[in-house]
Amino acid sequence: MSAPRFEFSVHATDGKARTGLIRMQRGEIRTPAFMPVGTAATVKAMKPETVRATGADILLGNTYHLMLRPGAERVAKLGGLHRFMNWDRPILTDSGGYQVMSLSDLRKITEDGVTFKSHLDGSRHLLTPERSMEIQRLLGSDIVMAFDECPRADAPREVIEKSMRMSMRWAARSRAGFDSGEEHASRAALFGIQQGALDEALRRESAEALREIGFDGYAIGGLAVGEGQEAMFATLDFAPDMLPPDRPRYLMGVGKPDDLVGAVERGVDMFDCVLPSRSGRNGQGFTWHGPVNLRNARHAEDPAPLDARCPCDACTKYSRAYLHHLIKSGEILGAMLLTEHNLTFYQQLMAFIRAAIADERYSSFAAEFRREYLGR
């Protein structure tokens, strides 16, 4: 039997937490899932086969960065993003909206879209819902994200309300643009993005608009933008419940390990974040007893592994002292080993989360994790 275009099934629940499976033509995605970020067609300091070996079922690619360099048309000419970067499993591409807002100078937002200057060379570009869909189609994305605007969570309510309603109009245009790409649309999926910052009424209005349009999955956008974990969790206490229960829920840009554990408790199925790879390049390793800064001098003569419970090469073959030496010396191998470790840790955490939900012991797992990881 051939694989479906997109199919999501929930296998077990424990409170709001749930574990299941997304089936697509390029493979299955176990949920809750963490997606390593391959911004520019690469997870920095990692080979694709090593990323897969950590347990990742899906990667994230970045529309904004890829449209600027090497260019979506060039990637398409070379056979699409999967062939270009040698990753044969599902890829989710973001819409480019967030990066336009956060990285670009002299941007101008209108109903049509966003005009901006490239952060690379100052060239001018117009990104609209239709162009975002076209770029993601040229890349050959498996999960396409609707084009939206992401204002700061602390912006005035009228600004957030206006932005959210425009994003919902852009969502309808994204749906039409995606559907117009017939061959690609027949094998890919489209996710809508809920906005509304921390406001429950605006989140509800956004969710209702998205449900009326209809998407394969639904993302929770506009969080992890400086509001803090307490405010994020308060929003997640209601936001996921507004989205269709038979579709995956994706919390964009999150996050720290304790963010993931708390968000799963509140019904989230998918995550992405640059934190494990960026932290690895900066000398920080995540462990079951909390993050470790390997630049710290106290590791200089420590023969112990970074994390005795981790199966990665950094932990099974090298000492904290050696990792400290690599990081302090600026050696590339340090970034490689710590990135591999952090991604392995994140995937191991997701595997433990899935098992705990299936065994209906998620509350005790989450409490034990917080005692170990946070010391409380």
Active site positions, annotated: 94, 272
Distance CA 112, CA 134 (A): 15
Residue 9 β-bridge partners: 21
Q: Decide: 70 and 360 in contact? Cβ < 8 Å.
A: no
Q: Alpha carbon of 38 to those of 62, 67, 75, 345: distances in Å?
A: 7, 14, 15, 17
If DSSP states are collapsed to H, E and C, what string results for 298-365? HHCCCCCCCCCCCCCHHHHHCCHHHHHHHHHHCCHHHHHHHHHHHHHHHHHHHHHHHHHHHCCCHHHH
Residue 145 β-bridge partners: 191
- Name the token pair of 355: 């098992």
Length of the chain equals: 376
Q: Which of 264, 260, 274, 280 is nearest to 333 (CA)?
A: 280
Q: Which residues contact 175 (CB under 8 A, 6 or more apart)?
A: 146, 190, 192, 213, 214, 215
157-180 and 200-213 are packed helices; what angle lies between their axes, rounded to 10 degrees?
Answer: 10
Task: Provide the 3-class DSSP secondary structure of residue 21.
Answer: strand
Q: Decide: 46 and 21 in contact? Cβ < 8 Å.
A: no
